[in-house]
Amino acid sequence: MFNKKLKLNLYVIASLLFGLKTYIIYRFLFNISLENAMQEFILFINPFVTAFLVLAISVWMKPKKQLRFIRWATLIGTLVLYFNLLFYRNFGDFLTIPVFFQGSNAADLGGSILALIELGDLLLLLDVALVWYLSRRDHLELTVSFTRKKQLLVFSMSIIFLLGNYILAEIERPQLLQRGFDREYLVKNIGLFNFHIYDIIQQSRSQAQRVFADGNELSGIIDYVEQNTTDTEQTDMYGIAEGKNVIFIWLESLQTFVINNTLHGEEVTPFLNSLIDESYYFENFYHQTEQGKTADSEFIVENSLYPLPSGAAYFTHSSNAYHSMPQILDEAGYTTAIFHANNGSFWNRNSMYETLGIDHFYDIDSYEVNSQNSVGWGLKDKEFFEQSMKYLTSLPEPYYSRFITLTNHHPFDLDEEDATIDQFDSNSRTLNQYFQTVRYLDEAVEEFFDHLKETGVYDNSIIVLMGDHYGISDFHNRAMSMYLDKEEITDYDHIQLQRVPFYIHVPGQEGKVISEVAGQVDVKPTLLHLLGVDDSNDISFGTNLFGPNRKEFVALRDGSFITNQYIFTKDSCYDRETGELLGNENTGRFGSDEEVEESACAPLIEKVQEELSYSDRIIYGDLFRFHDFSN
């Protein structure tokens, strides 16, 4: 009797184990917000629905092929989950198809990826190991011969479960699949794997847009821009920097929460704090990047268009026709140059800079980089600025130059001798180290200002400084709440943490703190206004930040938006100053004043989506190829 085989169904075992593991990842490793019991229930069932559906394919196979399919399906599924988890730990987002095609960046991401791997991640392989073990034991009978009737039953039930999941998701959030900009909402309602299928379909559709596009689509977009974003009125700020050089410093991963803030009783950014008194400083300036991060910030600033909802235009649409700020400044007699001590091919910059009309690109080949002067992602910022001076001073004037820093980049490593402030003490190594690299960046910028003054460049230039995107994702909310002395980081807090520093420093002019909300899409028209360069023929979604007719909202790529009075995110409207919840579009629940929410947030929801869709149509359809900007 000891030789009798134990009958088990590997299809059922593998589906239950994989579904359970997926739910644990959703619930405890991703930071997915759940607002009610229905969302919790949907999040619980969708991993099992997906597992039963995918593995149901095996019941149509012969026993040996069935075992092989289940083994490899669970392994591949686990890898998809894990790659998403690593990506999420860094960016607080899920992988999309365009990101996969950016694999050429992988070599440069090595240090960041290693910092995201944790020893406990090995537990995610337990179910895979068990499935492989069981499928190779002779004393277990792991397959059954399904009759045609049972095969149809298994597959039909899997489809019914899938439809049931979708119906519940639609009840919870109507028009769910129209919310492709909100990846978290899709994942928690239809699951990560179904989201990837949805993403493939959406990317295929977007690729087809260029083929069928024509110039007639631009007329409606131009009308919208003229009525809602273009402000050609000249102010007393027009041309105050005419003929001056522009030195634009990209402050890598720098968020506003460290400005004028302290750690262990010390200022985190003493120089940048002091610079506020001598600059036009925008204290409510928001980054608007998506998956492209630094590349997105470059794209937004140079074109005053929004980034794509997934992937990065630097990769997917680098051959498009654009009307960039460097192209406009070139026509006005400016030399354009970018300084970045990284590989020229990283984020496809070599190709994109040529498209944008950049005259000179000083990449890693222009610098002397060794083990002593580099850390993390490459050349240390102090060395970067110092070595760049010989190139900067050789440029024909006037010039427009951009410097992209590196040291304050995830995983925020810094040599001990360069650290001039102690680490923070929390459960997040990322946040703990962040303050040290921020301080180093602050010191590097101060030294750069000294170099500019010593060489005589300073007096004939305007210096612009901008944080390109967040450095601390919401994966570190617990540690962030400790630093900010909050019980938790709410959706409102998350939006406020998307503020990044933005300075316009004009030597000889007094500083001014500007409180009105602004975003990266506004930089292009603002700088052109200060330089006295005519941009009346431009098509952009930003407005001059010194003009009287500023756009009333700052749109983020996920559909959230900010006005001077309100913040809208995750279907909820908040008072921007106090964080008080005023209403929820989805549930219909309102706070103290229903009329406030209805009159303030609701009308702008559709307008924000309209503006984002217009920008997408320009990029996906390559519509600027049909337009003559000289007329």
Tell me the residue length of the chain. Answer: 631
Interhelix angle 349-356/294-303, rounded to 10 degrees, is 10
- Could you write out the DSSP letters of every residue in 406-469? -SS-TT----GGG--SPPP-SS-HHHHHHHHHHHHHHHHHHHHHHHHHHTT-GGGEEEEEEE-S
d(C-alpha 317, C-alpha 278), whole Å? 39
d(CA 32, CA 185): 9
CB atoms within 10 A of CB 386: 15
13 neighbors 134 (Cβ within 8 angstroms)? yes
Of the listed 256, 269, 294, 569, which one is catalytic? 294
Helix, strand, coil % (nearest 5) of the chain?
50, 10, 35
Could you confirm whether 262 is annotated as catalytic? no
SS3 sequence of 469-527: CCCCCHHHHHHHHHHCCCCCCCHHHHHHCCECCEEEECCCCCCEEECCCEEHHHHHHHH
Query: Where does 32-120 show beta strands of DSSP type E?
Result: none
Q: Are 171 and 583 contacting, i.e. CB atoms less than 8 angstroms apart?
A: no
Among the listed residues 419, 406, 401, the one whose alpha carbon sits nearest the alpha carbon of residue 360: 401
Q: Are 476 and 430 in contact (CB under 8 A)?
A: yes
- Report d(CA 385, CA 276) in Å as an integer: 21
User: Looking up tokens 């268009």, which residue turns up?
Assistant: 305
Terminal alpha carbon distance of the chain: 91
Q: In this structure, are residues 131 and 68 in contact, taking their beta carbons and an 8 Å threshold?
A: no
Q: Give me the half-sphere count of Cα atoms (radius 13 Å) on the Cβ side of residue 141.
A: 7
- Would you say 501 and 260 are in contact if contact means Cβ atoms under 8 Å apart? no
136 token code pair: 């190779």
Do the beta carbons of residue 31 and residue 99 sit within 8 Å? no
Q: Is 311 in contact with 331 (CB distance < 8 Å)?
A: no
Tokens 């002091």 — which residue?
274
Query: Are 184 and 559 contacting, i.e. CB atoms less than 8 angstroms apart?
Result: no
> For residue 411, is the peptide bond before it cis, meaning its omega torsion is within 30 degrees of 0?
yes
Q: Which two tokens stand for residue 470?
A: 């967040």
Burial annotation 119-141 (CB, 10 A radius, 16+ → b, else e) = eeeeebbebbeebbebbeeeeee
Task: Look at residues 253, 273, 251, 276 and name the one whose alpha carbon lies nearest to residue 262.
Answer: 273
Among 66, 290, 70, 90, smallest CA distance to 181 is for 290
Residues labelled as active-site residues: 294
